[in-house]
Amino acid sequence: MVEVGQKPVQKRRAVASGEIILDETTVSKIQSQDIKKGNVLTTAQIAAIQAVKNTSSIIPLCHPLNLTGIDVDFEVNDNKIVCTCSVNTMGKTGVEMEAITGVSVGLLTIWDMVKAVEKDENGQYPNTRISEIKVIKKEKIF
């Protein structure tokens, strides 16, 4: 791991986002809570928060951090859902890996919960995809 002991403790924030492309019928089922596994967005939100809190256990050489806040939001469109994850800390290193991990796991959870209605007659996912995962903002707040 990189030594960060000499760096000052300061408020840090990172925001990441990504999207999952789904069939419009699937998105409608999510909105009407007609997915057999349960409430998709609430489950994905909890999964994303849990992933953020466990990032240092998932990604080798990431520092365990004392997080001060996590926000996970979803924007539902006709054929996609955008996940945005904001992470805050008071620490010596940034939280962009935590934000990216939250987005990734949130989107993976959506896929897992809707896969029964997303797959085609051959059991494949020809149009389902996760993409556009990126850090929107990383900042030190003085």
pLDDT at 142 over 90: no
pLDDT at 136 over 90: yes
Catalytic status, residue 112: yes
What is the residue whose two structure tokens read 């990504």?
Answer: 18
pLDDT at 5 over 90: no
In-domain check, residue 3: no
In-domain check, residue 9: no
In-domain check, residue 32: yes
Q: Where residue 46 sits, what CATH number does that domain have? A: 3.30.70.640
Contacts 24+ apart (CB under 8 A), 123-126: none
Domain count, the chain: 1
Q: Which domain holds residue 102?
A: 20-141
- For 104, the token pair is 């990734």
Catalytic pick from 23, 71, 73, 112? 112
pLDDT of residue 127: 94
pLDDT of residue 57: 97
In-domain check, residue 4: no
What is the per-residue pLDDT across 28-67, written as a single tens digit (0 to 9) for each?
999 999 999 999 999 999 999 999 999 999 999 999 999 9
In-domain check, residue 82: yes
In-domain check, residue 104: yes
In-domain check, residue 13: no
pLDDT of residue 88: 97
pLDDT at 10 over 90: yes
The CA-atom distances, in angstroms, between 106 and each of 82, 95, 114, 142 are 10, 17, 13, 30
In-domain check, residue 46: yes
E strand or H helix at 112: helix 96-118
* Cα–Cα–Cα angle for 102, 125, 54, rounded to 5 degrees: 15
What is the per-residue pLDDT across 63-111, written as a single tens digit (0 to 9) for each?
999 999 999 999 999 999 999 999 999 988 889 999 999 999 999 999 9
Do residues 19 and 27 touch, judged by C-beta distance below 8 A?
no
> How far is Cα 35 from Cα 3, in angstroms, rounded to an integer?
46
- pLDDT range class, residue 3, cuts 50, 70, 90: confident
pLDDT of residue 7: 84
